[in-house]
Amino acid sequence: MKIKANGTLLELSEKGTPQEAAGALHLTEPQQAVAVTVNGVLRDFNTSLSDGDEVVFLNFDDPKGKEVFWHTSAHVLAQAILRLWPAALPTIGPPIENGFYYDFGNLTLSDQDFEKIEQEMAKVLSENYKPERIEFKNKQEALQTFSQNPFKRELIEGFEGGGISAYKQGEFLDLCRGPHMANLNKIKAFKILKTSGAYWKGDSNREMLTRIYAISFPDKKKLKEYLELLEEAKKRDHKALGTALDLYSFKEEAPGMPFIHPRGLIIWNRLLDFLREHLKAANYIEIKTPAMMSKELWERSGHWYHYKENMYLSLIEDREYAIKPMNCPGCMLFFRSATHSYRELPLRIAEIGHVHRFEASGALNGLFRVRSFHQDDAHLFMRPDQIQSEIQHLLQFADQIYSTFGLPYRLELSTRPEKSKTIGSDEEWDHATRGLKGALDNWGHSYRINEGDGAFYGPKIDIHIRDALGRHWQCGTVQLDMSLPEKFELSYVDHDGAHKRPIMLHRAIFGSIERFFGILVEHFAGKFPFWLSPYQVKILTIADRHVSFAREIASEIQKRGIICDIDDSNESMGKKVRNAQLLKVNYMLTIGDKEVENKTVALRTRDNIVHGEVDFLKFLSIVVKERDEKSLLSPFCTTEEKS
């Protein structure tokens, strides 16, 4: 039998499997061949191959490879738990962005139990089981197998169509669709990270389960690097830095609704000013729609039926209203308020709208998960022939924004879900998807295709930024919507006088501005580039006789629109420097007798690099240029730092 494996033609035995092909290619290292696709579909390594099949082996660095690696590891965790707590009830154990978790009923544990769980996992791995797939004949057989676990039985009862499978390793059997790794010996390092409570199926009215988070790797070095990354992430925690820098706070009187402090508002306003500069240059118009609108609007948009439990409702004069959870319906009303010609298209309408969504209190997380936030939404209306050019324009727009912050990104195209769960004709979906894909191809950046992961109303492009710690955040999105223009009966007058339905794109770049703010705090570790910094310059006086000159140069700095504070306290100079460094002040200017006499300043950067005496006006011209160019790197940093 001849197949193609990783682009190489191989001749296998009549009953050849991916495992045999991996051996022929010598993919034996722990990080290699952790998952496999056969003709584009993830499969187990003992799958029977046919002549002409195309096999691709996925390494640990591949996202799909990680998913299989971590899901297999979740079964190891569950097996260890049942050995230690036989009465525990396993529920689900999926891979997540970093590692995996497993939820258990009838289990109580604490951090003190982590070590013995890890020891038991090591025992399971030493036994080097080869996960075995079991196909049930029917639902009844599966129900009988898991008769003692009500959670598994509920999952089985909910399955519709298709086969039901489980995976067995040693004495452990778990309901699972797979696939898994060929054996467990590729798992060389693992760590239990934390435990928490979680409701069954995320429903607060259901059973409370114990969730165990963990992570695993094909070598110990990767685990060490990851744990070091976690320690660095703790130092960058935006909740702690927000307090230390006096940027924002959270109050019990308004859970999930952040208070932005004066210094935080400096950053906030600069982000919005920066965004609006780009909106103006790209010929957007900006609108503002009401925060609260009537039930009838939300019924028309569909939110009342599908999102009501996440909306804040109110009854006023016997009429029901809702605070908006999205900006889109308000923009639809604005578009309908006038007759539009094809000559106006594309029409780009932006709104930095304040929205509210009810999130469970346990899900709230600083600025990352809130109930009250602002979205930098835009809705673009166009003709069908303009889709590709508009997408390219949006990609350029996003690139300009993210590159200013030094944020690399990846692109993902999500295509049509199961046809029965979508609106629109085949022709409309094909045209829309071709438009998005064509724009991505022309853009020239690599992108990933998520088959069937689009919205019910259209395909979409998601933009995942990567921060300084290598974490990915989905902020930007471009979504083609065939639903709302139909529901709101939007139209434009075409060149032939006929009324036609416009194509509409949703787009966001920051996404939630609060969340983007938090991401930037952690990305920069509070050390913001000069143009964004809320603490740009601080003047430190050595004695009272130097205060007059300090005020004179502070005035000159402030005239240029630069934030400048004076520390003329009686603290020691060492304490003044330390206080400024704790606030991540970009530049500290020390004033003493020599500086007063020479009309100079002694410059120190926040990374404690002392430049000594510099000409004040020269310093001022350099930092004004640094601000105007929105430089990420200080012109006063060393050659070593620049490299």
Catalytic one among 174, 377, 462, 481? Answer: 377
Q: Which of 6, 7, 48 is nearest to 27 (CA)?
A: 6
Catalytic one among 460, 515, 576, 606? Answer: 460
506 carries an active-site annotation: yes
Q: Which of 5, 66, 71, 10 is nearest to 37 (CA)?
A: 5
**Alpha-carbon span 362 to 371, nearest angstrom:** 12
**Alpha-carbon span 25 to 39, nearest angstrom:** 18
328 carries an active-site annotation: yes
**Alpha-carbon span 20 to 13, nearest angstrom:** 9
**Alpha-carbon span 88 to 103, nearest angstrom:** 10
385 carries an active-site annotation: no
In the structure encoding, which two tokens stand for residue 277, read together?
């500069």
- By the 8 A CB rule, do 222 and 116 touch? no
499 carries an active-site annotation: no
**Helices 262-281, 513-523: inter-axial angle, 10-degree rounding:** 110
Q: Which of 438, 379, 449 is nearest to 410 (CA)?
A: 449
**Alpha-carbon span 627 to 561, nearest angstrom:** 10
**Alpha-carbon span 63 to 61, nearest angstrom:** 6
236 carries an active-site annotation: no
Catalytic one among 328, 331, 475, 564? Answer: 328
431 carries an active-site annotation: no
Burial class (CB in 10 A: 0-12, 13-18, 19+), 258: buried
Catalytic one among 32, 79, 169, 375? Answer: 375
Catalytic one among 506, 515, 538, 604? Answer: 506
Q: Which of 415, 390, 408, 528 is nearest to 475 (CA)?
A: 408
In Å, what is the CA distance from 365 to each residue of 95, 193, 361, 485, 630?
Answer: 21, 18, 9, 35, 30
Catalytic one among 43, 263, 348, 357? Answer: 357
**Alpha-carbon span 623 to 602, nearest angstrom:** 15
637 carries an active-site annotation: no
Side-chain-side CA neighbours of residue 506 (13 Å) = 25
In the structure encoding, which two tokens stand for residue 88, read together?
């525990």
- By the 8 A CB rule, do 577 and 605 touch? no
Catalytic one among 379, 523, 538, 576? Answer: 379
- By the 8 A CB rule, do 463 and 409 touch? yes
Catalytic residues: 328, 357, 375, 377, 379, 460, 506
